[in-house]
Amino acid sequence: MLDFASMSSQADDERFMRDALRQARAAGRRGEVPVGAVVVAGGRIVGRGGNRPIASSDPTAHAEIVALRRAARRLANYRLPGATLYVTLEPCLMCLGAMVHARIGRLVFGAPDPKVGATRIVKRPGAAGLNHRIAVRGGVLGPESARLLRAFFRARRSK
C-alpha cells in the first residue's frame, strides 16, 4: 500500500489549497457557504468539491464529502489510504468521521472554525477511540480562506 502522506512540501500545500480556494469561490457564486476541498493522492488531484447542501438538498454535501466521494469513485475504492485532503475551513465532526472511514492520511485546512471545527479530536491522545490517525496541518492560506468566508456572510447579512 502506498503512503502518500509524507510526499508534500509547504509549496505543494499552498498550491493544492489554492485549488481548494477556487472550489470555495465557485460554491460562493452558487450561493453556498464558500468552502472548497480537494483530495490529492500521488501528487495529483483525484477529487474536488465545493459546498452544495442547498443545491442538492443534502445536509451531508459539505465540500469535504463531495471531494471524498469523487476521489473514491475515480480511484474505485472507498478507502483512500495516505491521501491528503485540503479544505479551506477546518472540518466539522461529520467530515472528520468520513475522513477516518476513508483512511485519509493527512488533512490540511485553511481557516480554523472555533464553533464546529473538530480537528482537536484527532490531536488528542487516544483520539476518542478512533481506529485511524490523521496528520493535521492548519492555517495554510488561512487568512485568504477566512476573508472569503467573512465577505460571503457580510454580503448575506446586508441583503
pLDDT tens digits, 42-60? 999 999 999 999 999 999 9
> What is the pLDDT, as a whole number, of residue 148?
97
The percentage of the chain sitting over the pLDDT mark of 90, rounded to a whole number, equals 76
Q: What is the mean pLDDT of residues 95-101?
A: 93
> What is the pLDDT, as a whole number, of residue 3?
36
> What is the pLDDT, as a whole number, of residue 133?
82
Q: Please tell me which residue in 14, 32, 64, 90 is annotated as part of the active site.
A: 64
> What is the pLDDT, as a whole number, of residue 132?
77
Provide φ and ψ at 19, rounded to 5°: -65, -40
Among the listed residues 113, 102, 99, the one whose alpha carbon sits nearest the alpha carbon of residue 35: 113
Question: What is the rounded CA–CA span in Å between residue 63 and residue 36?
Answer: 5
> Quick check: 69 and 93 in contact, CB under 8 A?
no
Q: What is the mean pLDDT of residues 146-150?
A: 97
Question: What is the rounded CA–CA span in Å between residue 122 and residue 59?
Answer: 23
Q: What is the mean pLDDT of residues 140-152?
A: 97
64 labelled catalytic:
yes
How many whole angstroms from its chain centre is CA 113? 12
What pTM value is reported for the model? 0.90
Going from the C-alpha of 142 to that of each of 22, 33, 132, the distances in angstroms are 14, 16, 26
